[in-house]
A and B are shown apart, each in its own frame.
Chain A
Amino acid sequence: MGEQWMFYFDPNRCIGCHACSVACKQRHDRDADADDWRTVTHLSRGEYPDFEEVPISMSCMHCHDAPCEQVCPPDAIVKRDEDGIVTVDRDRCIGCHYCAWACPFGAPTYDDEGLMSKCNLCLGVGPGGGHGQPERQTSEEGGPAPACVSDCVGDAIKAGPQSEVMAEASREAAERFEQGAYGKRVLVEPLEEDADLADSIREGDQPAGAITYEG
């Protein structure tokens, strides 16, 4: 069993440019209007001038415990032993969307055929392209760098075998990871400390228009 690959994200360096989303689309020859395997979400709060907006770039994190794999009824999702990459066998997928429910990161996407596709850590190319591929090689070993990583303008995303990624993280981020932040599924640099959000939501304290409900 090889070492688990994982992602690292530093919101302090992310400039919200969406280069990662476009790089992913182009590497995998996906239509511009298809759902992104790598998304950039812009989270905002506050009233001008006390306004803040933070970009968050996310994809499948290839979770060590892959909740998606656990729930996939036809075993179409595979958590690979050799590198920890989570791949999809589109010849088995029934399109039940259960993986999307289980996924903590909203990573699975569904195309016009209704089949699941998501980030394969650029193990292969195209939807389902990672399935059945030989073990992931690092760039040093001659493998392709993930498109989103190699075109991240802010150098905010990293990917690789866990030990290598951990070595590049700040001590604080690594500690938080060890303590179980994000279910130990992804390494994220801390941005800031903040108060109890649940209370403020209950007090109706969010920025105007930020939560919309259409019941």
Chain B
Amino acid sequence: MPLDTHVVLAQGFVEQLWLPADYWDLSIPVYLFLAVVAGGGYVTGASACLLRHLRESGPCCLESELARWGFMVAVAGAAGAGLAVLSHLAVIYRALLFPIYLTNFSSWITIGTWILVVLSVIAVICLVLQLFGEGPAQEEGTSLFPRAIVAKVGLLETVDRLVDRFRPPMVAFAAIHVLGSLLAVATIYTGFELAIVETVPLWNMPVVVPLAYLFSGLAAGVGLTVALTAFFEREVGPVVGGYAVATGVLSGLGLVTVWYGWTVLVASDAPAAAASQVALAETTLAIGAWLVVLGLAVALVVGVVVGGAALTGRRPPVLERLAVPALVGSFGLLVVGSLALRVLMLLAAQQDPVVVLG
């Protein structure tokens, strides 16, 4: 996908094309997106586990569903992010040998690689622990479908046994969750990967961009988990409602951050900032920009209203009927909007004057 949208600017002189198009492709925004989605899935899973523990809910509760879907989102997100970034590299084996090759720890890619790899390992462990063993064996729910697959292969019992054998003690489990949650938040690094680029004003907002990426990405991760749970369980209880509210709040924070970033861009003296602004407001990219706003705003409203209602148990019949489709629809839109944000950040990037004449 050629992204011919960059300009070389010199004071008073404007021309197109800064970077050759093949420096970037769609795999980059996908990577930057899925890494945070994985984080969002993970925090959902981990917190659901915690909730279940605190509330001592029995089996088959929605917390378990949320936990499993959450870890699944985390694993899938991390895997997708990994594949996306690998597909973009020239020498894959050197990247696979990252402990040997990636030695520059001031590079966000090196840091990010470790974050993503460790997060995905933890997410896999958590997911396995939620899927197999005696406990899960007694549960029911769509999220347990991997069990059916393992059963087909005829290994279910063995796996259940093994998992229980190695099931860590509660303390270790908690420690893993704490670490995993920290790493989930650390997926904010995806924002830093862009924010350090000094010559692109659209990116070079070291607070705004990482926070925008974190909030919108976590919102998408949490929202996706909620949507999956609601969709398969056809039920929106207070717990799911709580997560829906969280999604709404994260979306809202994302929206506020993005909006703030926009005002910074609009106020900037940098020609490239102006060019990015024009690109986002007055070209076809504007459609994408509105998609971002729409995704975040709808998620905010629906999450808070529908989720709030479910959480507090005040559910008028209309909401009862519409809760699932509303959450699934709006959070689906949120996912699209949040990805669109990343795509736009690349498409609308303009480099500040390579050489300023004057």
Residue of B nearest to A181 (CB): B356
For the complex, is B271 an interface residue (Cβ under 8 Å from A)?
yes
Q: In which size bucket is the chain A interface?
A: 35 or more
Q: Does A67 contact B (CB under 8 A)?
A: yes
Q: Which residues of A contact B352 (CB under 8 A)?
A: 104
Is B166 on the interface with A (CB-CB < 8 A)?
no
B57: interface (CB < 8 Å):
no
Flag if A56 contacts B269 (CB, 8 Å).
no
* CB of B219 to closest CB in A, whole Å: 24
Q: Is the CB of A212 within 8 A of B16?
A: yes
- The answer on a CB contact under 8 Å between A215 and B5 is yes
Listed A/B pairs (12) with beta-carbon separation below 8 Å: A41-B8, A45-B14, A94-B95, A96-B88, A101-B23, A106-B18, A106-B19, A183-B198, A198-B271, A201-B271, A201-B275, A214-B5
Residue B322 is within 8 A (CB to CB) of chain A in the complex: no
Interface residues of A in 37-74 (CB under 8 A from B): 41-45, 52, 54, 56, 58, 67, 70-74
Q: Within residues 274 to 302 of chain B, which ones have a CB less than 8 A from any CB in chain A?
A: 274-275, 277-279, 282-288
Q: A75 with B22: in contact, given A92-B94, A215-B284 (CB under 8 Å)?
A: no
Residues 1-32 of chain B, each 1 if its beta carbon lies under 8 Å from chain A, else 0: 00011011111111110111011100000000
B153 at the interface (CB under 8 A from A): no
Cβ contacts B101-115/A at 8 Å (1 or 0 each) = 111101111100100
Chain A residues within 8 Å of B92, by CB: 94
Interface membership of chain A positions 75-91, coded 1 if the CB is closer than 8 angstroms to chain B and 0 otherwise: 10000000000000000
Most buried by B among A92, A105, A202: A202
Chain A contacts for B113, CB-based, 8 A: 73
Further pairs besides A54-B357, A74-B104: 14, Cβ < 8 Å: A35-B20, A45-B12, A71-B108, A73-B102, A96-B90, A96-B109, A97-B23, A106-B19, A109-B20, A182-B356, A192-B12, A198-B273, A210-B14, A215-B347
> What residue of chain A has the Cβ atom nearest to residue B287's Cβ?
A215
- A101 engages B197 (CB within 8 Å): yes
B268 at the interface (CB under 8 A from A): yes
Q: Are B103 and A215 in contact (CB under 8 A)?
A: no
* A198-B358 contact, Cβ under 8 Å, with A74-B102, A211-B7: no
Is the pair A98, B107 in contact by a Cβ cutoff of 8 Å?
yes
Q: Contacts A110-B22, A194-B11 given; indicate if A11 touches B274 (C-beta within 8 A).
A: no
Closest A residue, CB atoms, query B111: A73
> B162 in the interface, Cβ–Cβ < 8 Å?
no
Determine the residue in chain A with the shortest Cβ distance to B358. Answer: A194
**Is A195 within 8 A of B107, CB to CB?**
no
- A169 CB–B CB distance under 8 Å: no
The answer on a CB contact under 8 Å between A113 and B90 is: yes
Shortest distance from the beta carbon of B3 to any chain A beta carbon, whole Å: 8
Q: Which 5 A-B pairs have the closest CB atoms?
A: A95-B90, A114-B90, A43-B13, A215-B284, A215-B285
Closest beta carbon of chain A to B178's beta carbon, Å: 27
Which residues of A in the span 171-198 have a Cβ within 8 Å of any Cβ on B? 181-183, 186, 188, 190-198
Q: Which residue of A lies closest to B21 (CB)?
A: A214
Q: What 1/0 flags go to A143-169 for Cβ under 8 Å of B?
A: 000000000000000000000000000
Q: How far is the CA of A207 from the CA of B12 in the complex (A)?
A: 10
Instruction: Point out which of B24, B107, B270 has the most chain A C-beta atoms below 10 A from its C-beta.
Output: B107
Q: Which residues between 80 and 131 of chain B lie within 8 Å of chain A, taking CB atoms?
A: 88-92, 94-95, 101-104, 106-110, 113
Q: Quick one: which of B90, B275, B288 has the most chain A CB within 10 A? A: B90
Docked pose: A191 CA to B200 CA in angstroms: 23
Task: Let me know if B19 and A100 touch, CB within 8 A.
Answer: yes
Quick check: A75 and B103 within 8 Å, CB to CB?
Answer: yes
CB distance from B96 to the nearest CB of A (A): 10
List the B residue with the shortest CB-CB distance to A77: B104
In this assembly, does B351 line the interface, its C-beta being within 8 Å of a C-beta of chain A? yes
Cβ contact of B15, chosen from A41, A186, A197, cutoff 8 A:
A41
Contact A56 B14 (CB under 8 A): no
Give the shortest distance, in Å, between B215 (CB) and chain A (any CB).
23
Residues from chain B with a CB closer than 8 A to the CB of A75 are 103-104
**Beta-carbon nearest neighbor of B194 in chain A:** A101
Q: How far is the CB of B299 from chain A (nearest CB, A)?
A: 23
Query: Which A residues lie within 8 Å of B200 (CB)?
Result: 101
- Least Cβ distance of A129 to chain B in Å? 19
Among residues of B, the one whose C-beta sits closest to the C-beta of A207 is: B14
List, in ascending order, chain B residues with CB within 8 A of A188's CB.
Answer: 355
Chain B residues within 8 Å of A114, by CB: 89-91
What is the minimal beta-carbon distance from A211 to any residue of chain B, in angstroms? 5
B89 near A56 (CB under 8 angstroms)?
Answer: no
How close is A184's CB to chain B, nearest CB, in angstroms? 13
Contacting pair A198 B23 (CB below 8 A) = no
Once the chains bind, are B197 and A213 in contact (CB under 8 Å)? Answer: no
**Assuming the A-B contacts A113-B90, A206-B14, are A74 and B197 also in contact, with contact meaning beta carbons closer than 8 angstroms in the complex?**
no
What residue in chain A is nearest B352 (Cβ atoms)?
Answer: A104
Complex Cα–Cα for A194 and B14 (A): 13
- Distance in Å from the Cβ of B277 to the closest Cβ of chain A? 7
